[in-house]
Structure 1
Amino acid sequence: MAAPHDEDVTYKEKPVNQQYQQGQPISGRPDHRVDDIEEKQPITEMIGVVNGAAGREPGWQALNGGDNASPTGKKNRSDKMGNENDDTPSFEIELQEPGTNTTASRNRGNGEKRSRILSALGFGDKGSTNTTAPSGSGAPPGEEWSGEYRVYKRRWFGLLQLTLMNIIVSWDWLTFSPVSEHAAKYFFGSTDANNENIINWLSTAFLFSFVVITPVVIYVLHLGPKPSIVTSAALLLVGNWVRYAGTSNRDVGNFPVVMFGQILTGLAQPFVLAAPTRYSDIWFTTEGRVAATALTTLANPFGAALGQLIVPLWVQAPTDISRMVLYVSIISTISCLPSFFIPAAPPTPVSRSNETPKLDLRESAPILFKNLEFWIIFSSFSVYVGCFNSISSILVQVLSPWGFSDEEAGIGGGVLIVVGLVTSAILSPLIGKKRAYLTTIRIAVPLIGLCYLVFIWMPKTYKDGGLAGPYVALCLLGASSFSLMPVVLEFLVELTHPISPAVTSTIALSGGQLLGGIFIIVSGTLKAGPDGDPPFNMDKALIFHAVVAMVFVIPPLTLGLFGRAEKIKLKRVNSDDRSVGRRSDEIAPAAV
């Protein structure tokens, strides 16, 4: 049984409006007396009732009253509440299972449980008493822990590797989309619309792979970020070289083999794309989590930008496809190898919330199902991630009918992503420091909807206005979309704590990948024929994206309204703030 934790303990403080001297009864119990106190002391009864929702057996209680707890004046023992210099009475904490007389505090080797109870009750966070590091902290069994929280420089190694993995997996996603015409001719011998739609299935299958493997991703991420990163690296290594096996002949490619390799790389993506919140939760404090999540999450679209910019430079003819896939495979291999050597977890917890046992998918499902705020955020976030993935995949096909070259369309995709990355890099640390999650959502969501609406007319301005109009619209879309993504992922973790970040992030991102694949298919069906003006234009697809985006502007704007302000409290932040002595009434529930 895991020891209770800060969110798993409900505190009730019942002030006793009288002074107690030596020998007087406590709590009206004649058998509870203060024997070692020479001065009058105000007594506060604190009752902690363990919540069974966090995966521990329901009914366990932390007692400081009743027959199994007694006040004592001995203050220098690790199994007592209170510090060495504390003059108030200390209480021995025991864990009692209903119907039994066996107590965990009598087991002297169970220092971890006592330590975590003390932390939960607000004692010992910065104390001088050494105990063993909590399970899940990454420390070797039995390692002494001073109880002080600290961050480790080694966290940057894992963070950079997770960033690199997200870059390369996204580049794998858009290996063929930026050169869809050349790819269609390489695999099928012609560049008609149907063959280009088949090439789109390489992107679509990649996105759908995320959804298929979501339960496995949640399970592996629940074990920790390193197992997830290593799994992704293994799948990427195999998937890339399978793709090269299907394109090793420079004259014609084997599409089924390439599709199989693409699916393997698609299965690799969620293991690193959903990992940033889990990694930042373990390795970073409140002030750095949004920035860390932003860096690793936004590396994914940065990889897409590299693909859109570099792939057209490598592929000038269908016969260049084979060489391009080889280059990408080599880069992927080099990028994946460090994954096997990153540290698994910090030796000791970096914050109080890091100690809290996280709920797995089975325990989280009924809680999330009843959480209205989660569904509001999930629905809009999934739509906007889906729209972004779809537009990124079909951007060349959207712009080329109006006269854009593959290189200009690729630059447009790069502008979309690079401007978004720069904007998010500037704003994310500020948002994390100010905890302005809700304010950011309320600003970014309407702006995203308007950008999709305006972009309907932007490709048409190319002949008269050149690149300015489309590029400006893409800049605004990238800035607003990229600012939103890490904020939403962290906000979901805050609202649902102590549910594991692996659960909320993976579910939210899988929704975006699923809708992205669906939107690509829908866009293909809305593509104009050879008699269109211009032929094969995708104006109807742009209208479809704009309508969907505008509809889902409304739900996030209702967060915290209609008497539900209590539902948007930042639970994880509050937990960490309690560990440094801030009162709950000093903690803002959320930026509004």
Structure 2
Amino acid sequence: MRGFVYVKVFFILALVNGFIVHKNDLPSLCSSKKERARRRPLQPYLVPGEKSSDLLVPTSSLISTSEDVSASSYKLYASRWLHLFLLSILALVSDWACFATAAVPSTFQQATGHESATLIDIFLVSNVLSCFLYTDISRRLGLRNSTVLASGLMFFGCGLRSGFGLHIPAYAWLVTGTILIGIAQPFFQCAPPLLSATWFATSERSLATATALNANQLGIAMAFVVGAASVTDTDKIAPYLGLITLTAGFCFLATTFLFRDRPPTPPTASAAKALDLSNTENQPLEDIPPPLLAYPSLLKTLLFETPGFTGPLVAFVASIGVTNVISSFVGDALDRATGGGSVGAVGAGFQIAIVLGGIIFSAYVDATRTYKRTTLGCLTFAVGTIALLGVAMGYDADLPPQLVIFSMLALGAAVGPVQPLNAELAVEVAHPIDENAIEATQQLAGNLFSALLVPIYQIAGRFDFEFIEDFSELAPATHYGFNADFDDATHLHHHLKGMIMPQPSWLTHSPTDVRGDTLLLFVLVAAAAAFFATFEFDLKRAALDDSAL
């Protein structure tokens, strides 16, 4: 009965939303043809050398008529912060649902017979497929309609996963709900650059993008804090998942009634210029047949015809891969490094560090526009922290737990900001190509890579590499009481030669080793930093905004 009430509420809200959306979108019978074309959410957009039907309009241009806007009339609306909050909370709930049982994997496996990491992988694969379609769907529906539709889909998916708060459903329903949530998430994760370009000033865009793009990390933090506190046994899983469903329902309701496509007037010269470009052809919109899928053409343009785009793409992918893997296996990492501890608190702290780091570094880049220098600094620092964690997570060394936890938090604060910074950098170098397509490409590549990285990371963890010979007679052992003795015969040890150094006094259980999974992350981030350093970037959108001042 309770589940039936949930379903009724879902469909009633969907009907109300449909009335609100279409009442605002349907052209008036007395409107002129030109006016009807202006109101439509899809506009033709030309990139040099392309036909109007080949590429998409940057949806940041879908604002009032450009002839009514001058440089002196750019205006910021207070409601931009409400829209940023709504998009951020949707992203938060989507990753809370994805990582819901990451803090209690053994309890979830006892209840369902399946690993929680499997659902995370299913979520990421669904996310990838949705990213490929996101640009075309959002182009046809507009920012508001697509966001509301996705929030409703997420609400229903959460309901299926939770048995609508009554009981843990069959595993097939858990998988189905996870797929629906994975399909919905790109509509929250790909939209931040578009939202910031549509609603925010030049000096606010990186900060706005970072806030919305990293809000999903707070969702993962919620999973660790609330999940660890709520799920004390298998009987508590269904009510906990029901709480996520209730939260998703409130988000759907708020988005339905409060979210809008755009402000009445553009906030920047680049937004106004995008509108001018969209009006370069006078052919009526109804006479332009849009392609069935325009995103593949845009993807080709971004990857092969846009100088500088692959640099931020690789940095973004490396960042999202590391954060997803650490988030999925933070419990295992803590067990290896400290012999246990508060998984919920440290897991949540890692996500909060990502968010705070994103806000701080994005605000700095808004003021300085030092995208390259800041990104390289973050990646270089991340390489150092991964190296330290690699020693701590090996079988031989015994580091102070405080140092291990601090290093994990520092890694989050360093590697997390790389995502929002390079989301904005990609928009800058690819301007005036559609922001939706740019972020969809980054999310598609990042989540596909993460889905592949998770099993590779698990396999790599079976290998162990020794870097320091046994100098225990020179270094007195100091035990912190966290690492258990391991039987070397039960592990695969592969010795790397030529890296022998005296052992510091604070390392014990000689020799010192690094597990293969941590070494994998080290090589990944180091290679991404080296590749990114080879690029120089032309900030086209910022130059356009500066020229209007």
- TM-score with structure 2 length normalisation? 0.73
- The equivalent residue for 1:34 is none
- The equivalent residue for 2:111 is 186
Q: CA deviation at 1:273?
A: 0.6
For 1:304-323, what per-residue CA distance to the aligned partner results, in whole angstroms no more than 9, with x for missing partners?
11111220111111222112
- Contact 1:137 / 1:348 at 8 angstroms: preserved in 2? no
The structure 1 residue matched to 2:417, chosen from 468, 473, 483, is 483
What SS class does the counterpart of residue 287 from structure 1 fall into? helix
- The equivalent residue for 1:343 is 260
How large is the RMSD of aligned CA atoms in angstroms? 3.2
- Contact 2:131 / 2:440 at 8 angstroms: preserved in 1? yes
- Contact 2:193 / 2:424 at 8 angstroms: preserved in 1? yes
Q: CA deviation at 1:410?
A: 2.1
- Contact 1:247 / 1:254 at 8 angstroms: preserved in 2? no
- The equivalent residue for 1:579 is 548
- Contact 1:220 / 1:227 at 8 angstroms: preserved in 2? no
CA distance in 2, matches of 1:403, 1:536: 19
The structure 1 residue matched to 2:353, chosen from 419, 426, 437, is 419
Deviating beyond 6 angstroms after TM superposition, the runs of 4 or more aligned structure 1 residues are 534-538
5+ residue gaps, structure 2: 1-33, 39-45, 279-293, 464-484, 493-513
- Contact 2:130 / 2:184 at 8 angstroms: preserved in 1? no
The structure 2 residue matched to 1:176, chosen from 101, 111, 114, is 101
Higher strand residue share:
1
Q: Determine if the alignment matches structure 1 residue 264 to structure 2 residue 180.
A: yes
What does residue range 305-324 of structure 1 map to in structure 2 within 5 Å? Answer: 305-324=221-240
Q: CA deviation at 1:490?
A: 0.3
The structure 1 residue matched to 2:326, chosen from 357, 382, 391, is 391
CA distance in 2, matches of 1:315, 1:218: 38
The structure 2 residue matched to 1:289, chosen from 175, 200, 205, is 205
Distance 1:56 1:402, change over 3 A: closer
Q: How many aligned positions are there?
A: 439
Q: CA deviation at 1:576?
A: 1.2
Query: Which amino acid is the alignment partner of residue 133 of structure 2?
Result: V
Q: CA deviation at 1:57?
A: 8.9
- Contact 1:453 / 1:547 at 8 angstroms: preserved in 2? no
The structure 1 residue matched to 2:220, chosen from 295, 298, 304, is 304
For 1:52-88, what per-residue CA distance to the aligned partner results, in whole angstroms no more than 9, with x for missing partners?
4475499xxxxxxxxxxxxxxxxxxxxxxxxxxxxxx
CA distance in 1, matches of 2:50, 2:208: 26
Q: CA deviation at 1:283?
A: 0.7
Q: CA deviation at 1:167?
A: 0.9
What does residue range 135-146 of structure 1 map to in structure 2 within 5 Å? Answer: 136-139=61-64
Q: Determine if the alignment matches structure 1 residue 555 to structure 2 residue 531.
A: yes
- The equivalent residue for 1:161 is 86
Q: CA deviation at 1:347?
A: 1.1
CA distance in 2, matches of 1:461, 1:365: 44
Distance 1:374 1:142, change over 3 A: closer
Q: Which has the larger radius of gyration?
A: 1
- Contact 2:428 / 2:542 at 8 angstroms: preserved in 1? yes
Query: Which amino acid is the alignment partner of residue 124 of structure 2?
Result: L
- The equivalent residue for 1:457 is 391
What does residue range 514-553 of structure 1 map to in structure 2 within 5 Å? Answer: 514-528=448-462, 539-553=515-529
Q: Determine if the alignment matches structure 1 residue 279 to structure 2 residue 248.
A: no
- Contact 2:163 / 2:242 at 8 angstroms: preserved in 1? no
- The equivalent residue for 1:569 is 538
Q: CA deviation at 1:282?
A: 0.7
CA distance in 2, matches of 1:51, 1:255: 47
The structure 1 residue matched to 2:77, chosen from 152, 159, 178, is 152
CA distance in 2, matches of 1:403, 1:142: 60
Query: Which amino acid is the alignment partner of residue 147 of structure 2?
Result: I
Q: CA deviation at 1:523?
A: 2.5
Query: Which amino acid is the alignment partner of residue 155 of structure 1?
Result: R
- Contact 1:237 / 1:336 at 8 angstroms: preserved in 2? yes
What SS class does the counterpart of residue 552 from structure 1 fall into? helix
CA distance in 2, matches of 1:466, 1:472: 10
Q: CA deviation at 1:361?
A: 3.0
- Contact 2:190 / 2:439 at 8 angstroms: preserved in 1? yes
Distance 1:135 1:211, change over 3 A: closer
Structure with larger RCO (C-alpha < 8 A, sep 6+) = 2
5+ residue gaps, structure 1: 4-49, 59-133, 189-194, 561-567, 581-592
Seq. identity, % = 21
What does residue range 183-222 of structure 1 map to in structure 2 within 5 Å? Answer: 183-188=108-113, 195-196=114-115, 199-222=116-139
- Contact 1:401 / 1:536 at 8 angstroms: preserved in 2? no
Q: CA deviation at 1:168?
A: 0.8
Distance 1:555 1:143, change over 3 A: closer
Distance 1:135 1:354, change over 3 A: closer
Q: CA deviation at 1:533?
A: 5.1
- The equivalent residue for 2:436 is 502
CA distance in 2, matches of 1:470, 1:419: 15
- TM-score with structure 1 length normalisation? 0.68
- The equivalent residue for 1:43 is none
Q: CA deviation at 1:455?
A: 1.4
CA distance in 2, matches of 1:258, 1:293: 31
Q: Which moved more, 1:474-483 or 1:288-297?
A: 474-483
Query: Which amino acid is the alignment partner of residue 160 of structure 2?
Result: V
The structure 1 residue matched to 2:381, chosen from 438, 447, 455, is 447
- Contact 1:394 / 1:520 at 8 angstroms: preserved in 2? no
Q: CA deviation at 1:392?
A: 0.7
CA distance in 2, matches of 1:310, 1:411: 10
